[in-house]
Amino acid sequence: MKTINNKEYGGERPLYCEHGLRLEGVTIHAGESALKETADIEAAGCRFEGKYPFWCCKGFTVKDCLFTEGARAALWYSSGLLMEDTLVEAPKMFREMRDLKLRRVRIPNAAETLWGCHDVDLEDVEVEKGDYLFMHSSGIKIKGLRLQGNYSFQYCKDVEIHDSVLNTKDAFWETENVTVYNSVIDGEYLGWYSRNLRLVDCRIGGTQPLCYADGLELVNCTFEPDADLAFEYSEVYADINGAVTSVKNPRTGRIVAGSYGEIILDANIKAPADCEIKTR
C-alpha cells in the first residue's frame, strides 16, 4: 500500500481512481471529488474541506479525521466504510451506501444524513440537528446513539437500537420491524403508521405517541406525563410501569398499566374495538 504523508490537494479529482492508498495528515482543500472511484483507502488524521471527497468508493477506513462544513455530501454511493473518532461538520453525509460502521463519531450538523443506507452499524455516535436521519434505510444496528433532530428513521426497516437517547419528533413513522431496548424516546407523534415496532425497557415522552400502528408491542416501558392520547387506532400489546395520562381509541390488543388519568373510547373508535385496558 502506498502512503502519502502531510500533503495538500485541491481542485477536481486530485486522487481519482486510486487503489491501495494510505493518507496520513493529508488536507483536501476546496474542490470536488478528491477520491472518487477509489478502493482500499485508509485516511488517518486528515482534513477534508472540499465537496464529495468519497463517492463511489469500495473498502475504506477513516480514523481521527475532520470533515469541515465545506465537505458536504462527502460519502455517497460507497460501500465498506469503517469510520472512527471523527468529527463530521458537513451536512448530507452517507447517502446510498452499504456496509458502514461508525464508532465514536460526532455529527453536529446532520441534516439529511444517512439516507438510503443499508447494513449500518453505529456505536457511541452523537448527532445534532439530525432532521430526517436514516430516511429509507434498512439493516440498522445501533448502540449508544445520542440524537437531537426530528423526523428520524422514517420508512426504515429492520432496525435494532440499544442504550440510546433519542430527542426526536415524528420518529419511526411508517417503519417496519424496529426494536428499541433500554432507551429514552422523547418527541411528539412517535411511531405513527409503524408495523412491528417493539419497545423494551424504554421511557417515552411527547404527545400522541404510538397511533395508527400495527403489531405494536411495549415491554416494561414508562410514560412521561406529556405522553397523552396514546395508541389511537393501534393494534397494541403494552406492559407499562406507572401511570398513563390518557389512552384514546385503541383498535385492538391489550394494555396493562399502573393507572390511567383518562381512557377515551368514543364513537370514532375503529373495529374490532376490542382492546383490553387493565390496571395492575
CA distance 87 to 73: 14
Instruction: Render pLDDT for 115-173 as a digit per residue (tens, 0 to 9).
Output: 999 999 999 999 999 999 999 999 999 999 999 999 999 999 999 999 999 999 999 99
Regions of the chain short of the pLDDT cut 70: none
Quote the pLDDT of residue 168: 97
Quote the pLDDT of residue 183: 98
> Please, what's the b/e burial string for 1-36 (b: 16 or more CB within 10 A of its CB; e: otherwise)?
eeebeeeebeeeebbeebeebbbeebbbeebebbbb
Quote the pLDDT of residue 242: 95
Quote the pLDDT of residue 155: 98
C-alpha cell at 119: 447494513
CA distance 43 to 168: 33
Quote the pLDDT of residue 86: 98
How do beta strands 138-143 and 118-123 pair?
Answer: parallel
- Cα→Cα distances 32→3, 10, 25, 28, 135, Å: 22, 8, 19, 9, 25
Quote the pLDDT of residue 1: 86
C-alpha cell at 198: 417493539
Reported pTM: 0.96
Contacts of 146 (CB under 8 A, 6+ apart): 125, 126, 127, 164, 165
C-alpha cell at 36: 472518487
Rg (CA), the chain: 22
CA distance 126 to 174: 24
Quote the pLDDT of residue 266: 96
Quote the pLDDT of residue 83: 98
Instruction: Render pLDDT for 182-194 as a digit per residue (tens, 0 to 9).
Output: 999 999 999 999 9
Quote the pLDDT of residue 280: 86
